[in-house]
Amino acid sequence: MAIKNLPREECYLPGSAACPGCPATMALRITFKALGKNTMMIVPACCTAVIESLHPHTSFDIPTMNIAFEAAAAGASGVEAGLRMQGKTDTTVVAWAGDGGTYDIGIQALSGALERGTNFIYICYNNEIYSNTGIQRSGATPYGAWTTTTVGGKTEFRKEMGEIIQAHHIPYAAQTCIAYPEDMYKKLVKAKGIKGPKYIEIMAPCPPGWRFSMEKTVEMGTMAVETGAWALYEVENDKVTFNGKSKLILEKKIERKPIEDWIKHQGRFRHLFKPKKDVKRIKTIEDHIDLIWERYRKRHL
Amino acid sequence: MSVMIDTGNYIAAKAAVMARPAVVPAYPITPQTTLVEGIANYVKTGEFKGEYICVESEHSAMAACIGASATGVRTFTGTSSHGLLLMHEMLHWAALARLPIVMCNINRVVGPGWNIWTDENDSISQRDTGWIQFYCSSNQEIFDTVIQSFKLAEHEKVQLPVMISYNAFILSHTSMPVYVPDQKDVDNFIPKRIPKWKLDVDNPITFGNIILPAAYEKVRKDMQDSQEYAKKLIPEISKEWKKQFGRHHGDLLELYKCEDAGYILLSMGAIGAESKVSIDNLRKEGIKIGLARVRCFRPFPREEVLKLGKQADLIVIDRNISVGMEGAVFTEVKAALYNNSDAKAYGFIAGLGGKDVTFGDIEKMCKKVVNGKAKQLEWFGFEGV
Ligand SMILES: Cc1ncc(C[n+]2csc(CCOP(=O)(O)OP(=O)(O)O)c2C)c(N)n1
Ligand code: SF4
């Protein structure tokens, strides 16, 4: 589906409180287009709770309930059950959380809902930090990245959430990125058509959090995929398929670009380049990405 | 109507199922387990036609109650002690979201060390969450209060969640005969819930986004007004229940032999039931004493307590302590009297950690006050082992 053919209807309304260049808003817009008006959102504490704008106004034309930080998936289980008991089984129930609400504080409720087979789509927009509270590290923050709580750069690698999700053997899981709206749209539509728990994670480069200028959001997303820092794939009943450039990288039909091409444009990695290039740490990042792709190839080729 | 002889938990399960909640999310904890097992059994027998969600924690149990309730349906759950404490954040959330969830809490000691006997510190520490709080003194009262609570919670002017607490083992695991009304009479007593707001694709609202100070303050004031309204509604519901089913457990207070009393004892839960025996015995000895069992702790019956304070000196037994101050009921009682009464008030802490409190113990506490030997605040029977 080409962008020009996406549904015209907008449920993401003007007047939101997002930063300019916000990736979450791009993801929300496509999500609403893909899922349509017969959708309900459960949103835990995260930037989106701000993006919705101030009570009594809203920038969402879809029923939305905010819930506590760690409770999105459990709240969604309740919403889904409540609707089902009223015979409303055609509504798509979405839990929409950041990486903090997914990788860290919300992982228990998420795992529980996946295990119970809740019929919903859990969407994590991954900006690799706690943005709402002012750029702190999360389990999704990559090695070397500065945040306000990893002042000299993070010393640990990020969690492999994809593997954790796959260990639940749910009917559908996917990774996508705001720079690829068609890929995002296709995956959302597919998830909507499948019964049971679905998980979609959207790479969401955040200008203030990653320290790049606001017109570069899409570019940062593209480069995340082209350098292999992020992979586009989907998992249907345990069968993993890589998509787009990620498929070509997996099959070694193209070389992934050097990680420097991505990180040198982000202020959060500036200490790796200034005052002196930190060759060792840049290599550590590069090697780790190689390791991840070798693991992908071993499992999925 | 039929008679069911069973434990407090199974009685609560029966009442919950007869209220026809659409969704019951639950997580087990001793001594609540037989309550949720009871409901699970009704799933098997087909008596419970709602959705039973086996969540992975109490935090998620309350989150799922919130989610389901926000779609407009009736929800119920049960917990105890650490489970209740884990829910704390979501208890506030449920009340602020004005969702009429009904929950049983089996009063159990909080660790460390692990102790499954009864005291009230678990629910007392949820005092300020905005939930209406009842404390029961018999299995019949548990049954009746669960049904009544749905009517109260869902009333258009209340729209607040209700917690029904009862003592671990003393009630939760003790069998008593209980009158169970016919299903159709329960259905008539609690008609279908009409939600004030709900998640609805035909009317897409955003609930709970960023709110500015003045609007938030109004949310709090509305909650307070609703609890004040509940004070009027609780006696009305009790009266209606009595008219229809012939039983009455009191309003916010249950008064026993208070008419001519110069001393009035205030206590909650099972100690409240035990206190009636003590009152009878003390009266046989010529002491003019009555009992005001605190059935409803939130909203607190400030006006009724003040009325008692105009007539008698007050003795309070708390099976809980707000560490650094005193028993929670004692604090409330004194606050109700302040500025408007010359009554003396005496507080006892008793039965913490599940220590038994017998009618004899209660008589000793009362006599100490009557004989002018009691300090303002005392630990009763403290062994210090
Ligand atoms: C229990 C609890 N702890 C901490 C917070 C503070 N808090 C609110 S949002 C947030 C971070 C959210 O991060 P993420 O989920 O990644 O979403 P983002 O802000 O990046 O959109 C934190 C720590 C909270 N609301 N609740
Ligand atoms: S901090 Fe980042 S994710 Fe949050 S609103 Fe701003 S751009 Fe969007």
- Ligand 1 centre distance from Cα of residue A139 (Å): 13
Q: Is the CB of A45 under 6 A from ligand 1?
A: yes
Tokens of A76: 């969604």
A19 CB within 6 A, ligand 2: yes
Q: Does B26 touch chain A (CB under 8 A)?
A: no
* Sequence letter at residue A109: A
How high is the pLDDT of residue B287?
98
| Residue A127 Cβ < 6 Å to ligand 2 | yes
CB A101 near ligand 1, within 6 Å: yes
Strands A197-203 and A172-177: parallel
The residue of chain B with its CA nearest to that of A84 is B51
> Which residue in B63, B200, B201 is closest to A109 by CB distance?
B63
Whether the CB-CB separation of B149 and B102 falls below 8 Å is answered with yes
pLDDT higher than 80, residue B338: yes
Question: Which atom of ligand 2 is nearest to A207's Cα?
Answer: 7
How far is ligand 2, taken at its centre, from the CA of residue A275, in Å?
28
Cα–Cα distance measured from residue B123 to residue B80, given in angstroms and rounded to the nearest whole number: 8
pLDDT at residue B237 tops 90: yes
B21 touches chain A (CB under 8 A): no
CB-CB neighbors (< 8 A) of B65 in chain A: 78
Name the H helices within A21-149: 23-35, 47-51, 72-85, 99, 107-116
Q: Which two tokens stand for residue B118?
A: 């009864």
Judged by CB atoms closer than 8 Å, whether chains meet at A37 and B59 is answered as no
What ipTM is given for this predicted complex? 0.97
Give the mean model confidence (pLDDT) for residues B161-177. Answer: 98
CA-proximal residue: ligand 2, atom 6 (nearest): A19
Closest by Cβ to B206, choosing from A52, A81, A85: A52
Determine the average pLDDT of the residues in B229-244: 98
CA distances A82 to A89, A122, A202, B68, B160, Å, are: 10, 17, 28, 4, 18
Digit-coded pLDDT (tens) for B59-94: 999 999 999 999 999 999 999 999 999 999 999 999
Look at residue B221 and tell me whether its pLDDT is greater than 80. Answer: yes
Q: Where are the domains of chain A?
A: 3-300
* For the CA of A131, the nearest ligand: 1
The segment(s) of chain B belonging to CATH 3.40.50.970 are 2-245
Which of A31, A21, A19, A173 lies closest to A96, judged by CA? Answer: A31
Residues B27-54 have a mean pLDDT of: 98
Q: Judge: domain A3-300, CATH 3.90.1150.10.
A: no
Query: How far is it, in rounded angstroms, from Cα B61 to Cα A45?
Result: 18
Among all ligands shown, which has an atom nearest to the Cα of A130? Answer: 1
d(CA B235, CA B251): 5
* Residue of A37, A60, A67 to mutate for B, most B C-beta atoms under 10 A: A67
The response to whether residue A59 sits with its C-beta less than 6 Å from ligand 2 reads no
Instruction: For residue B24, give the H/E element and its range.
Output: strand B23-26
Q: pTM for this structure?
A: 0.98
**Both structure tokens of B179:** 């009158």
**What would the mean pLDDT of B318-343 be, rounded to a whole number?**
97
Question: Could you tell me the two tokens for B11?
Answer: 């009685």
- A residues 236-275 closer than 8 Å to B (CB): none
Task: Share the mean pLDDT of chain B.
Answer: 98
Rounded to a whole number of angstroms, the distance from the CA of A277 to the nearest CA of chain B is 43
Q: Which CATH architecture fits B253-379?
A: 3-Layer(aba) Sandwich (3.40)
Q: From the CB of A39, is ligand 2 less than 6 Å away?
A: no
- Supply the pLDDT for residue B385: 73
> For ligand 1, atom 22, which residue shows the shortest CA distance?
A133
State the CB neighbour count (10 A cutoff) for residue B188.
11
Counting as low any pLDDT under 70, the low residues of chain A are none
**DSSP codes of every residue in B268-321:** -HHHHHHHHHHHHHHHHTT--EEEEEE-EEES--HHHHHHHHTTSEEEEEES--
- pLDDT, residue B384, reads 79
Question: Has domain B2-245 been given CATH number 3.40.50.970?
Answer: yes
Tell me how close the Cα of A155 comes to any Cα of chain B, in angstroms.
32
Which ligand minimizes its atom distance to the CA of A49?
1
| pLDDT tens, position by position, B246-267 | 999 999 999 999 999 999 999 9
Instruction: Count CB atoms within 10 A of the CB of residue B286.
Output: 7
Amino acid at B66: I
Question: Where are the CATH 3.40.50.920 domain residues in chain B?
Answer: 253-379
Ranges assigned E (strand) in B58-128? 76-80, 102-107
Q: What is the mean pLDDT of residues B358-380?
A: 98
Q: Which residues of A touch B90 (CB under 8 A)?
A: 68, 71
Q: What percent of chain B has pLDDT over 90?
A: 99
